[in-house]
Structure 1
Amino acid sequence: MYTPYIIIFILLVLFVSSFVTVKQGTIAVVTVFGKYRRLLRPGLSFKIPLIEVIHSRISIQNRSVELSFQAVTQDQANVYFKAMLLYSVLDHEEETIKNVAFKFVDSTNLMQALIRTIEGSIRAYVATQRQANVLAQRNEIVLHVKEQIDKVLETWGYHLQDLQLNDITFDDEIMRSMSRVVASNNLKAAAENEGQALLITKTKGAEADGNAIKIAAAAEREAAQLRGQGIALFRAEVAHGMTKAAQEMEQANLDISVILFTMWTESIKHFAENSDGNVIFLDGSTEGMNRTMKEMMGMQMQKVADNQAK
């Protein structure tokens, strides 16, 4: 009585199960009795019920994984790496998808092989380097790994998009020693800069002092020249004035000694006005004046005689 309904229900279930939806960014691998049959692209697809089975769904999107491992340098220093691995399916070709689906039992085995392969490549490279060079060769390590790993991943159906070494550290003792080296280098550089700055300051100061001395010497020399010229001009004017006065005295039939007497009194007046409290001992008696006048006249006569002799 219910047999037709059961058959209809079974047929309906089989009909509904024959339609498969594949998400965007995913490719489904279909097998028949365990053997690869075909691929189902994103969207709604039809498969033979009970015969065709979806073996796996392969994501063609980029995937990432974080790595943490240790390596030993040539000089036996422990280096600790933290890396981020970005990889994806090589392409959408059928053979590539088949490699991805059937090379490994499951994704766990794939990740284990991928991680161990990358760790082995980095360790092999680091083992040839010294501890002091590892930090400066971050890019070289990445290029070396990508060159070595890409060939292996292509046989698995994958491609290494990027490898980032986010953190490279050493043992605590090595890190402390490196910090001390950096600090000492900074102190050395600071000392050298301070020494150069002090040298420049002292050099510039010495140059400024030298220039100041030169300028002062030049000014003093010029002032001395001007003073000498002034004294020479004063003496020339005095001589000219005395000569003119003597000529006028001779024309007036007066004794030239009057000029000497006038100079004597003017000198005494000048001493009194400009002494500024200093004590000057001067014989102001008549005998002293006569003696001074005779000496001055004798000097004048000697000078005239000398001129005549010439």
Structure 2
Amino acid sequence: MPFSGFDVIIPVLVVLVLLLIFAGIKTVPQGFNYTVERFGGYTRTLTPGLNIIVPFIDRIGAKMNMMEQVLDVPTQEVITRDNAIVAVDGVAFYQVLTAAQAAYQVSGLQNAILNLTMTNIRSVMGSMDLDELLSNRDTINERLLRIVDDAASPWGIKMTRVEIKDINPPANLVESMARQMMAERNKRAQILEAEGLKQAQILEAEGRREAAFRDAEARERGAEAEARATQVVSEAIAAGDVQAVNYFVAQKYTEALATVGSAPNSKVVLMPMEASSLIGSLGGIGAIAREVFGDGSGQQPERPRTVSARPPRTGPVEG
């Protein structure tokens, strides 16, 4: 059976329709947005999933990655406020929020973000001293994020994080900083040692003061006891107690001999040999006391007889 011209045209038309349908169907993967341009002008944005455009009239413009992306900031030299040169590098994280703005508001999005970040790193870190630069990295990151995010917001992107990775001062500057740190540590050690010595001297002085106070208190108690003993002996003498007089005199005599005998530079001591001399002396003192104060019975004591006695013999006694 011969084919007519109509039989040929129908399959061709079917094929063309299928081609048009396939040309108008666009599948957008997850995490991406596609912009649609009609005769060169932006019309709409295709979201993830199945989308249909007009073939040969609409076309896909820019395929924008909507996921958060990382951008490595290369190393650059920064001059601080105190004229120190440091090498700095960092990293920036950003996310496209509006595909049309990111595609049509700036040319070369990543290059623009990179140059913007590097410029602001030099600006922010150049306004700080080296010590502030090394100790306030969190503050630097916060300032950089705020400045870069404000500058990049018209491009339809959000700067999520800007971090300084490394700050490398010159080798001679690092050596000077190490010497300064060592000197500071030595200074603190000397201060602590001086504080410890001061505290020890204070405690020692307080100990001496407490000991002196205790010694003075002991001497005061001894003086009070001595005064009390003297008062008791005086009262006993006034009452005519001869035994108290004998005890008091004998005690003082014995203490005097002990003191003389214990002296380190005393080698020879002269003292009476007869013990009766000491007893006679005590008896004489007792008789005088009875004569002065009486024996307590109201009668005058008998006057002692005068007895001549030979002087006591003395001899050297080895100390």
| Separation of aligned partners in 1, 2:36 and 2:279 | 152
**1:247-262 residue pairs with structure 2 within 5 A?**
none
Q: Deviations over 1:23-51 (max 9, x none)?
A: 33322111234332321122221122343
Please say if residues 239 and 293 of structure 2, whose CA atoms lie closer than 8 Å, have aligned partners that are also in contact: no
| Structure 1 residues 159-180: Cα deviation after superposition (integer angstroms, max 9, x where no partner) | 3222222332211221221122
Residues 242 and 18 of structure 1: is their aligned pair in 2 closer, same or farther, counting only changes over 3 Å? Answer: same
Distance across 1 between alignment mates of 2:158 and 2:26: 28
Structure 1 residues 137, 284: CA separation in 2 closer, same or farther (over 3 Å shift)? closer
Kindly tell me: are residues 19 and 216 of structure 1, through their superposed partners in 2, closer, same or farther at Cα, counting changes over 3 Å?
same
Q: Extract unaligned runs of 5+ from structure 1.
A: 246-259, 306-310
Aligned-partner Cα distance in 1 for 2:279–2:90: 119
> Structure 2 regions of 5+ residues with no counterpart?
262-268, 295-319
Tell me the SS of whatever aligns to 2:83.
coil
TM-score when normalising by structure 1: 0.71
1:216-227 counterparts in 2 under 5 A? 216-227=215-226
- Post-superposition Cα deviations, 1:190-249, rounded to whole Å, max 9, x if no partner, equal 221221122122112211221121012102210221133124324533553537x9xxxx
Pairwise CA distance, 1:6: 5.6
**Residue matched to 2:121:** 122
Cα RMSD (Å) of the superposition? 3.9
| Number of the residue aligned with 2:95 | 88
Written as runs of structure 1 = structure 2, the 5 A alignment for 1:1-310 is 5=11, 8-68=14-74, 69-89=76-96, 91-92=97-98, 97-105=99-107, 109-237=108-236, 240=239, 242=241, 281-283=272-274, 296=285, 299=288, 303=292
How much has 1:81 moved relative to structure 2?
A: 1.9
Flag the structure with higher helix content: 1
Contact 2:102 2:109 (8 Å CA) reproduced: no
Q: Mark the CA change 1:34 to 1:301 in structure 2 (over 3 Å): closer, same or farther.
A: closer
* Distance (whole Å) between structure 1 residues aligned to residue 126 and residue 87 of structure 2: 13
Runs of 4+ in 1 over 6 A off after TM superposition: 288-291
User: Cα–Cα, structure 1 residues 16 and 301, in superposed 2: closer, same or farther, change >3 Å?
Assistant: closer
TM-score by length of 2: 0.69
> Structure 2: which amino acid aligns with 1:130?
D
Q: Secondary structure at the match of 2:81?
A: coil
Q: For residues 240 and 299 of structure 1, do their structure 2 counterparts lie closer, same or farther at Cα, with a shift above 3 Å needed? A: closer
Count, aligned residues: 271
Q: Deviations over 1:121-147 (max 9, x none)?
A: 221333343333322443554454345
